[in-house]
A and B are shown apart, each in its own frame.
Chain A
Amino acid sequence: MKTIKIFTIVGIFSFISFSFTTIMQDKWIVPAKYENMKNPTNPKEDLAIGKSLYNKHCKSCHGKEGYGDGTKADGLKGDLGDFSTAEFQSQSDGALYYKTTIGRDDMPEFTKKIPDDEDRWLIVNYMRTLQE
């Protein structure tokens, strides 16, 4: 009987303590193939096209400056990241390309909306300019 009581108390406490944790987003693992992928574009060229594509496809969630504060951001569950931070910018071009292309959860995959690989690289180049 005593053990059951102890277990019940421990159970209740552990249950309570669970409610104070926020569910952490899993680390987004980028396959090595993409991680080390070389950016085939010149990052200084066609930035206007990259900006235009970013505004069309990304801005509504990620925000104009990439802070993750777009008009649709509130309705999404995951952490949208902040493109202006050094932490975000420390990722390789290939990693950003992978995340923009394949997506996960609320982040859609963009191979259908933006079928040309080069266009997605241009978006990566534009995201680099959002660093502050």
Chain B
Amino acid sequence: MARRTTNLKTLQMKNYKILLFTFLIVPLLSFSQKKAKDSIVEKPERPAFESSSIIDNQTNVLFNKNTLEVVMQHRFGLMDEENSLLGIYGANSNIRIGLSYSILDWVTVGYGITKKNRVSDFNLKAGILRQTRSGSTPFSLTYYGNIAIDGRSGSANDGVFLTRQDRYSYFHQLILARRFSPKFSMQIAPSLSHYNAVDYGYENDRISVALGGRLKISPQTSILFDYSQPITSLEDDPDTGLSYNNPGISLGVEFSTSAHAFQIFITNFNGIVPQQNYMKNTNDFFDKGMLIGFNITRVYNF
């Protein structure tokens, strides 16, 4: 009996060896197959957009490895504010200064600071799929996400944070973009925003979807539009009666040169940081909620 068990054991051992060998050889086989396929040239499509953002949302654009992008985003006060020269002198203006660096051709990491709530955000953008010229991959798929930290002092009238975790908020977005022609590109971007701490009775998470596009009207000028629709419904503010469910509507133009992109637009979002826009916005585009804003980028290649 004992001998039979040993026999069985050696047999099992042998089987394992065969299995192990097969598994080890599989990558080699699949590699050689991949190489054969690669001989068919599949060129990626040219970028769908000029810069890494389209007004209030990110685009699928990723720069080459070792590219530094400096971003300055500004949102003036509300255009309807009295005696404010269309909001230019207005209160509640917001600004973000950000840096992002492409560590790989398909991965960009960044950091930015925003005036509103003294937010610091760390972000990551990664290309998953690239549209090809033959159309075998009809669209690009890109992930964008961030971790933002509310940096206010925490005194009673400046937002109260019981724990450090209460300062954190997160944003995840999948960007599906397609360049339809050299002039026209569009993207759809579903997203999830999450705040660790919200006021009593509110949701911590919100699912939204954004639709954006650009139409080139001259070699360097394009018209941009960006529409952000919240899907998860939030309650109105009990104190002010303001709604948190207004869609974000943004319209603008973009001028781009070799190293710069300049976007000027009208929008109702003033948060700049995406989860702030998606969850905390109360401006209604059609009810005195419009404001002027601009984004400037400078790209350095190393």
- Is B219 a contact of A112 with CB atoms below 8 Å? no
B130 to chain A, nearest CB (A): 13
- Is A55 a contact of B220 with CB atoms below 8 Å? yes
Tell me whether A104 is interfacial, beta carbon within 8 Å. Answer: no
Pick from A28-36, A46-54, A79-87 the stretch touching chain B.
A46-54
What size tier do the contact residues of chain A reach?
10 to 19
Select B182's contact among A48, A55, A56, A116, beta carbons within 8 Å: A48
Tell me whether A60 is interfacial, beta carbon within 8 Å. Answer: yes
A119-B220 Cα distance, complex, nearest whole Å = 16
Residues of A within 8 A of B182 (CB): 48-49, 52
Residues of A within 8 A of B256 (CB): 56
- Is A56 a contact of B258 with CB atoms below 8 Å? yes
- Is A56 a contact of B301 with CB atoms below 8 Å? no
Q: A60-B257, A112-B64, A115-B64 are in contact. Are A52 and B301 (CB under 8 A)?
A: no
- Is A56 a contact of B219 with CB atoms below 8 Å? yes
Select A56's contact among B43, B64, B67, B257, beta carbons within 8 Å: B257
Query: Which residue of chain B lies nearest to A118 when distances are taken between CB atoms in the complex?
Result: B43
- Is B301 a contact of A55 with CB atoms below 8 Å? no
Number of interface residues of B (CB under 8 A): 13
Tell me whether B14 is interfacial, beta carbon within 8 Å. Answer: no
A3 to chain B, nearest CB (A): 57
- Is A113 a contact of B46 with CB atoms below 8 Å? no
| Residues 54-70 of A contacting B (Cβ, < 8 Å) | 54-57, 60
Select A113's contact among B43, B219, B220, B301, beta carbons within 8 Å: B301
Binding site for B on A (CB under 8 A): 48-49, 51-52, 54-57, 60, 112-113, 115-116, 118-119
Q: 14 A-B residue contacts at CB 8 Å? A: A48-B182, A49-B182, A51-B219, A55-B219, A56-B219, A56-B220, A56-B256, A56-B257, A60-B257, A112-B64, A112-B301, A113-B258, A118-B43, A119-B46
